């Protein structure tokens, strides 16, 4: 019997398994190698949601995002080829709770409850944005870590819970930077402009696709200087700061959207620094 179990275990192929931890509203960079070549067009399938990756030979890498509203404790991802065939790989993710701050605000009722016509506009624009975030370049366009668009004070952090007039609850899914009117706003990394127009809440807005469904958003601009379809390098000026949209004072709203989730932009900066530090380390080893 023992001999049979030994022979059985020697021919049974166990999946190549890895694990990571992530908070709701955060992003994690991952990079793994397996025992076969990873084809172009491969992706992770995580509980029915596709996470696209870049690859070279038997290595693949990408950015995994978790929804701010996530209530799950863990999930698993399988690595698939473009045709749906599975590789011998599984990623197990543990979701760790995160304590977001909250604030209470009193504003005019009309700023909380939208009219029927305004709500119709918001619903239409929401669908437009969802469609944009589902379409992306098939590879990462950038070749360096992301940078914050401004080095000014953060006036409203990501994830802050807001209670308006003691009843209406919402959350801030971006980062607000202090600025006056007319400050030049640079793009956080290289990418392609996929939206440059007005939105109900964020006013004059620019959205940039950085590849593999990684996007950044620049809102409340006074003017925009880019066109849809334009390729922009890191630091390119996309517009001037302002107070357009649903705001009371000028500031920059910076948003990061990855795999359809609005996540903490500072976590993207941190994880992209790991991404390119890994590349630097590999290059140094290859030279030695």
Residue 104 burial (CB count, 10 A):
10
The verdict on 113 and 141 lying in the same domain is: yes
Q: Is 288 contained in some domain?
A: no
The verdict on 76 and 186 lying in the same domain is: no
Question: What's residue 81's pLDDT?
Answer: 96
Rg value, the chain, Cα = 22
Interatomic CA distance for residues 205 and 195, integer angstroms: 7
**Structural domain boundaries, residue 207:** 102-270
Mean pLDDT, range 86-112, rounded to an integer:
86
Percent of the chain with pLDDT over 70: 91
The verdict on 122 and 79 lying in the same domain is: no
The verdict on 80 and 140 lying in the same domain is: no
Q: Is 182 contained in some domain?
A: yes
Question: What's residue 18's pLDDT?
Answer: 95
Q: Is 172 contained in some domain?
A: yes
The verdict on 49 and 109 lying in the same domain is: no
The verdict on 205 and 162 lying in the same domain is: yes
Interatomic CA distance for residues 171 and 153, integer angstroms: 20
Interatomic CA distance for residues 64 and 77, integer angstroms: 10
Of the two residues 185 and 1, the one the predictor is more confident about is 185
Percent of the chain with pLDDT over 90: 80
Tokens of 120: 């119709």
pLDDT tens-digit map of 218-253: 999 999 999 999 999 999 999 999 999 988 899 999
Angle at the Cα of 213 from the Cα atoms of 209 and 217, rounded to 5 degrees: 45
Has residue 184 got a pLDDT over 60? yes
What backbone phi and psi angles, to 5 degrees, belong to 117?
-70, -40
pLDDT-based confidence at 284, cuts 50/70/90? low
Interatomic CA distance for residues 184 and 271, integer angstroms: 26
Interatomic CA distance for residues 198 and 121, integer angstroms: 11
Mean pLDDT of the chain: 90
| Cβ contacts of 269 within 8 Å, gap of 6 or more | 145, 146, 147, 148, 188
Q: Is 139 contained in some domain?
A: yes
Tokens of 108: 């005019």
Name which of 243, 258, 222, 237 is nearest 188 in CA terms. Answer: 237
Question: What's residue 237's pLDDT?
Answer: 98
Tokens of 38: 């990873």
Of the two residues 201 and 103, the one the predictor is more confident about is 201
The verdict on 134 and 84 lying in the same domain is: no
| Cβ contacts of 88 within 8 Å, gap of 6 or more | 13, 15, 16, 34, 35, 36
The verdict on 220 and 246 lying in the same domain is: yes
Q: Is 278 contained in some domain?
A: no
The CATH number given to whatever domain includes residue 222 is 2.70.70.10
Q: Is 169 contained in some domain?
A: yes
What separation in angstroms does the CA of 252 have from each of 37, 130, 184, 263, 274?
Answer: 43, 22, 10, 16, 26
Mean pLDDT, range 2-11, rounded to an integer:
40
The answer to whether 236 touches 188, Cβ cutoff 8 Å, is no
pLDDT tens-digit map of 34-89: 999 999 999 999 999 999 999 999 999 999 999 999 999 999 999 999 999 999 99
Question: What's residue 281's pLDDT?
Answer: 72
Q: Is 159 contained in some domain?
A: yes
Tokens of 195: 């939206």
Has residue 285 got a pLDDT over 70? no
Has residue 129 got a pLDDT over 90? yes
Number of domains in the chain: 2
Has residue 110 got a pLDDT over 80? no
Has residue 12 got a pLDDT over 90? no
Tokens of 18: 């890895």
pLDDT tens-digit map of 204-216: 999 999 999 999 9
The verdict on 114 and 92 lying in the same domain is: no
Has residue 30 got a pLDDT over 80? yes
Q: Is 6 contained in some domain?
A: no
């Amino acid at each position: 019997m023992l001999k049979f179990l030994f022979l059985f275990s020697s021919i049974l192929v166990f999946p190549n398994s890895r694990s990571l931890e992530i908070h709701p509203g955060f992003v994690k960079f991952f990079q793994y190698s397996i025992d076969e070549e990873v084809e172009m067009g491969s992706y992770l399938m995580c509980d029915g949601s596709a996470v696209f990756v870049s690859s070279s030979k038997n290595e693949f890498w990408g950015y995994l995002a978790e929804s701010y509203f996530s209530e799950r404790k863990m999930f698993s991802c399988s690595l698939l080829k473009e045709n749906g065939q599975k590789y011998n790989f599984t990623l197990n993710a543990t979701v760790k709770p995160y304590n977001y701050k909250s604030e209470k605000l009193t504003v005019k009722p009309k700023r909380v409850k939208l009219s029927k016509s305004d709500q119709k506009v918001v619903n239409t624009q929401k669908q437009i944005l969802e469609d944009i975030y589902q379409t992306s370049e098939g590879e990462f366009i950038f070749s360096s870590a992301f940078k914050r668009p401004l080095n000014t004070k953060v006036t409203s952090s990501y994830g802050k819970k807001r209670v308006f007039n003691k009843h209406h609850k919402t959350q801030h899914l971006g980062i607000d930077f202090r600025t006056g009117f007319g400050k030049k706003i640079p793009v956080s990394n290289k990418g392609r402009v996929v939206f440059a127009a007005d939105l109900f809440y964020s006013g004059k807005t620019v959205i940039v696709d950085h590849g593999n469904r990684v996007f950044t958003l620049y809102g409340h601009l006074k003017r925009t200087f880019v066109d849809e379809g334009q390729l922009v390098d890191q630091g390119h000026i996309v517009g001037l700061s302002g107070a357009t949209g649903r705001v009371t004072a000028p500031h920059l709203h910076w948003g990061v959207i990855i795999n359809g989730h609005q996540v903490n932009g500072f976590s993207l900066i941190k994880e992209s620094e790991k991404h390119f530090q890994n590349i630097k380390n590999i290059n140094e080893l290859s030279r030695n």
